[in-house]
Amino acid sequence: MYLFCRWRLLLPQATIDMTRPTHALINWSNFRQNYQLAKSKAPGSAYAVIKADGYGHGMVRCARALGDADGFAVACVDEGLLLRQAGIKRPVLVLQGAYDADEWQIASAHNLQLVVHHAQQLVERELATLENPVDVWLKINSGMNRLGIRATEAEPLMALINDDDNLELTHVMTHFADADLAQPEAFSAAIEIMKAQDWSLPLSVSNSAATMTQLAAELEGDGSVSRPGIMLYGSSPLATQSATDLGLKCVMTLKSQVIHVHDVKAGEKVGYGGDWTAEKDSRIAVVAIGYGDGYPRQAPSGTPILVEGHRCSLVGRVSMDMITVDISEYADIQVGSEVELWGENIDVDEIARLCNTIAYELFCQLTPRVKRVAAEG
C-alpha cells in the first residue's frame, strides 16, 4: 500500500498538457451557423441532436455552444443526465425513452422529456413514483420498423398517457427510414402514414435530410419540432448534394503532423502486408494518426490526405498509430508539416464514401486520444 502511494506521487499530474500533434479542431461558430440554417428550414422549433457525445464532437461542449437552442435530443437517459449535471437547463428529449422504472424516476427528477415507443415502457412507468410530471413524445413507426408503434395502434397508448396525471403527452413523432430519398416511395408512404390520422398534437418528424429537402413540410407547423443531427456537424445528409452545395459549414477539421520522411525505391513495398508497392522511386511521409485515433482502417491507398496544403495520397495500410503518405511531388514537405485528414479542405463525406461508410461513423469512432480543440470563433 505504502509503495503504491509512493508510485502515484511519481506519476505525471493529469494537468500536464498532452503534446501529440493529433487533434480535432472544432469550429463552434460554424456549428451555430449550421443550427441556424436548420432552424430557418423548418417552421417550428429545432432540437439539436447531440447524442453519442455530440457525434464525437463533445456533447456538453455542443450544448454549451448552442446555449439558446430550442432544445437538445440525446439517445438515452444517461446522456440526458450528463447534460443536467453539466448545468444545461434547456429542454432535453431522450430518443429511446426510459428503459425501466428507475429511468422514469431519474427523468422526472431531472426534467428530461421521454419518448414512448412501446407499451412496456408504460408498464415500467407504473412501477415508478414520479417527483414531477414528465413530458412524453409518442413515437410512431412510419416504416423503419425499428422503434415506434403502428399509427393504427396509437389510440389506446394515447389514452393511457392522457389518463396519467404525471404524464403530459406533448408531441407525436416519427423517424423516417428514407428521408435521404434513397427510396422515394418509402418516404412518401411514411408521410401518408403520418397524415392518415388527426393527431391533434404538434408533430416532430424531420431529421437533417428531411429538414434540407423540406419534403415533410405538409406535416409541420408552428408547433412542430425538427431534430437535425448530422447537418449541424457540417456533413451532408443527402447523397446527391455536398455539404457546400447545401450551405453547410465545416465544423471538425482532423489534423496531425508528419513525424518522419524517407525515400523508397521503385518496387519496394510500404506498410503491413506490403499492400502498396512504389511504381517509381518515391518519398514517403509518416503521419501520427491511425485507427487507434479512429482514422478508418478501411481507408484505401489513394485516399486524399492534405499535407502542407498539397493533396497527397495515402499509401499502404492504416496502422494503429500511423499512416504513410506518398509525398513524391512536393519537396517542401518535411517533419513537422501540417496534415489534414478531413475538414476545411477535405470533405469528410468524400473520405466516408472511400471507406464505404458515412460521416456519422467517422465522427463517432474518433477515440479519446484525439484532443478536441476549439478553433478561433
Ligand X SMILES: *Cc1c(COP(=O)(O)O)cnc(C)c1O
Which residues are part of the catalytic machinery? 51, 272
Number of neighbours of residue 145 by Cβ within 10 angstroms? 9
| Interface of this chain with ligand X, residues 164 to 203, rule: CB under 6 A | 175
The binding track of 273-302 with respect to ligand X, each residue x by CB under 6 A or -, is ------------------------------
Cβ atoms of 338 and 25 within 8 Å: the answer is no
CB of 175 to ligand X, least distance (A): 4
Closer Cβ to ligand X, 53 or 326, answer by number? 53
**Site for ligand X (CB under 6 A): how many residues?**
11
Measured CA to CA, the distance from residue 283 to residue 19 in angstroms comes to 26
Taking residues 113 to 132 in sequence order and writing x for each that binds ligand X by CB under 6 A, - otherwise, the string is: --------------------
Measured CA to CA in angstroms, residue 309 lies from 60, 122, 191, 288, 345 at distances of 32, 56, 46, 17, 9
- Residue closer to ligand X by CB (options 203, 339) is 203
Give the contact letters, 72-111, x = binds to ligand X (CB under 6 A), - = no.
Answer: -----------------------x----------------
d(CA 344, CA 306): 10
Which residue from 64, 47, 364 is spatially nearest to 229, judged by alpha carbons? Answer: 47
Contact 374, 29 (CB under 8 A): no
Query: Taking the complex as a whole, how short is the minimal distance between the CB of residue 86 and ligand X, in angstroms?
Result: 20
DSSP 34-92: HHHHHHHHSSSEEEEE-HHHHHTT-HHHHHHHTTT-SEEEESSHHHHHHHHHTT--S-E
Site string for ligand X, 219-248 (x = CB under 6 A): --------xxxx------x-----------
Q: Which of 70/308 has CB closer to ligand X? A: 70
Amino acid 43 reads P
State yes or no: residue 208 binds ligand X (CB under 6 A).
yes
CB of 208 to ligand X, least distance (A): 3
Nearest distance from residue 218's CB to ligand X, in Å?
19
**Which residue ranges make up the site for ligand X (CB under 6 A)?**
49, 51, 95, 175, 207-208, 227-230, 237
